[in-house]
A and B are shown apart, each in its own frame.
Chain A
Amino acid sequence: MHTTHAENEANYLKYKGKYKGLLGWILSTDHKRIGLLYLYSIGTMFIVGALLGLAMKFELLAPGKTIMNAQTYNATFTVHGVIMIFMIVVPGLPAVFGNFLMPIMIGAKDVAFPKLNLLSWYLYVAGVFLVLSALLFGSGTPDTGWTFYAPYSFKTGTNLLPAVFGAFVLGFSSILTGLNFLVTIHRLRCPGLKWTKLPLFVWTLYGTAWIQLLATPVVGITLVLIALERVFGVGIFDPALGGDPILYQHLFWIYSHPAVYIMILPAMGAISEIIPTFSQKHVFGYKAIIASTMAIAFVGWLVWGHHMYTAGMSGTAQYYFSLLTFIVAIPSAIKVFNWISTMYKGSINIQTPFYWAVSFIFVFMIGGLSGLVLGALSTNVYVHDTAFVVGHFHYIVFGGTGFSFFAAIHYWFPKIFGRMYDKAWANIGWLVFFIGFLALYTPMFYLGLMGMPRRYYDYLEEFHGGNILSTFGSWILATGLIIIITNLVRSARKGPKAESNPWHGKTLEWAVPSPPPLENFDEIPVIAEDDGPYNYK
């Protein structure tokens, strides 16, 4: 592989351009700086969302009112959901690691539209402030849940419009990022980097970008319709005016189910990078992983109705959605098979990112298999809207995207900051977090099967034991989170300097210095015929 480094050029962290200080960051169109802007803003909102989650778990420590009343609880789970979904897991991996790494991984100096990329971050920040304004001003914090279901969303007296508009603006940010990534991957790959030589993380970003581009406008227009319904009473979803509330659910989930794949595909991509590196072995079934990525992106689009089995949908549609839901499990299982096969007979180097990656597979499997319980019509009716759904959802979304995000930050940290973290503390943080995660979410499966409904601040005495364990789990998880974040923040400033390729990776980002220079490469690299992203000898 022929690459040249810009050894003498200042790295992107130290580069001083036209503007200095804060302006040098918020006016920079460098994809790496924008990636870090996303990291800091998403990280900040994650802490807010996590604190709200902790408050909810504290409320559920005992039956009856513990620290908040029913209305406050409704508002808390709504804001927790809106923050975690629209501000963290949807933009998460693409906006942070996609922005930072994808152009380097394809041998480009930046994304195709750098100014549009910066505009995406501005829109993200604007969306965040709009949602937060719904909490601080007006007639009460929104209490609809993150799904904004009709008809309650246009009946509630709370300050819903800024939150809905904020989600709309956040969607715009997502669309622009998707568009930028699609064009970049099509047009800016370096010479010799064929589609069949693209790193798998880039492939998953490509699949994700399609979903961002096509699905997000659907929820955008749906949210606009909610606003029109609230303000003008146009009667699209309101049954009293001849509207159909189930139509809202169709439109909402046409986006929001593919959005789960916006979250999980890049997460799978990051895991697909980490496992070959720490196994020092060519990824098993490279083309099968690509095919399964695109199959998930496509089939995942068509299964939205499994959120609506009990909503009053036709039996024909229920049958169809259940069938396709089972089919989408196949490409996900292919990936798990490929990851495990990659490890088989590999030279496994057990480091913190590898711990995160294998624990990702563990929690993702549990989340996926519990998803089949929800995908099947008969069992879904039994556990619908119970704590079982909350357990499944968090195993997939937090277990999937969250574990992968932490795997990715520990994997690419030396590349991003040019420093290494304290590995012992990183491993302790992972272990505490992992134990806390299992203790927090596993009881929810049991509680749901026993009939505990979700979204209630109160519960029957028989559910007390499971809720105590779950709340203790949230405290353990929070302790792990504090260890991880403290270690990373401290190491970004004071950690020992990292080598350019500490894990012996083969993808292009490991061929440039750490941290990378401003324009990544002096000369665009050329990929030789026998080179590839996972060519471990």
Chain B
Amino acid sequence: MSEEKHHIVSYKFYVIILLVLLALTFSSVEITSIELGKYTVAGALLFAVVKSYLVLTYFMHLKFDKPYIKIMVGFVFAVFVVTIVITLLDYLYR
């Protein structure tokens, strides 16, 4: 393992990502003060997706990892989506 190259990310870059995450968190709270009707949940989920993407990509180093790690994470995400879709087969058609 010692011969493998490790990507070094500067502290400054991590701090920027942290600040972006905090800004998005405050935004996701603030957006609830705007009346979006049935899009309220969609708005909150959009913020959550962007935040998850940033955490996975930078804090969890997916951006710098080998392709098979990305495929594994993608597979997990696909399983999650399939699980939600199947559950909705009950809720939407009940």
* Residues of chain A at the chain B interface (Cβ within 8 Å): 187, 214, 246, 250, 254, 298, 301-302, 305, 312-317, 320
Contacts and interface: CB of A to CB of B under 8 A. Distances in A.
Interface string B56-94: 000000000000000000001001001100110111111
A299 to B, nearest CB: 11
B82 A315 contact: no
Contact of B89 (A187, A214, A320): A320
A316 B83 CA distance: 15
B94 A320 contact: no
Contact of A254 (B1, B83, B92): B83
Contacts of B92: 314, 316
A401 to B, nearest CB: 24
11 contacts: A214-B76, A250-B87, A250-B90, A254-B87, A298-B79, A313-B94, A314-B93, A314-B94, A316-B90, A317-B86, A320-B89
A314 B79 CA distance: 22
Given A313-B94, A314-B93, A315-B93, A320 B76 contact: no
Contacts of A254: 83, 87
A312 B90 CA distance: 9
A305 B86 contact: yes
B76 A314 contact: no
Contacts of B91: 314
Cβ-closest 9 pairs across A and B: A316-B93, A317-B90, A314-B93, A314-B94, A317-B89, A314-B90, A313-B90, A316-B89, A250-B87
Contacts, number: 36
B59 to A, nearest CB: 18
- Range for the number of chain B residues in contact with chain A: 10 to 19
A302 B86 contact: yes
Nearest to B1: A187
Contact of B82 (A302, A313, A314, A317): A302
| Most B Cβ at <10 Å: residue of A301, A302, A317, A320 | A317
A498 to B, nearest CB: 36
Contacts of A187: 1
Contacts of B86: 302, 305, 317, 320
Nearest to A303: B86
Given A302-B82, A314-B94, A316-B90, 13 more contacts: A214-B76, A250-B90, A254-B83, A302-B83, A302-B86, A305-B86, A305-B90, A314-B90, A316-B89, A317-B89, A317-B90, A317-B93, A320-B89
B70 to A, nearest CB: 14
Nearest to B82: A302
B90 A246 contact: yes
Contacts of B90: 246, 250, 305, 313-314, 316-317
A312 B76 CA distance: 29
Contacts of A316: 89-90, 92-93
Contacts of A305: 86, 90
Nearest to A254: B83
Interface in B1-28: 1
A199 B89 CA distance: 39
| Most A Cβ at <10 Å: residue of B76, B87, B90, B93 | B90
Contacts of B82: 302
A246 B93 CA distance: 14
Nearest to A244: B91
| Most A Cβ at <10 Å: residue of B1, B76, B87 | B87
B71 to A, nearest CB: 12
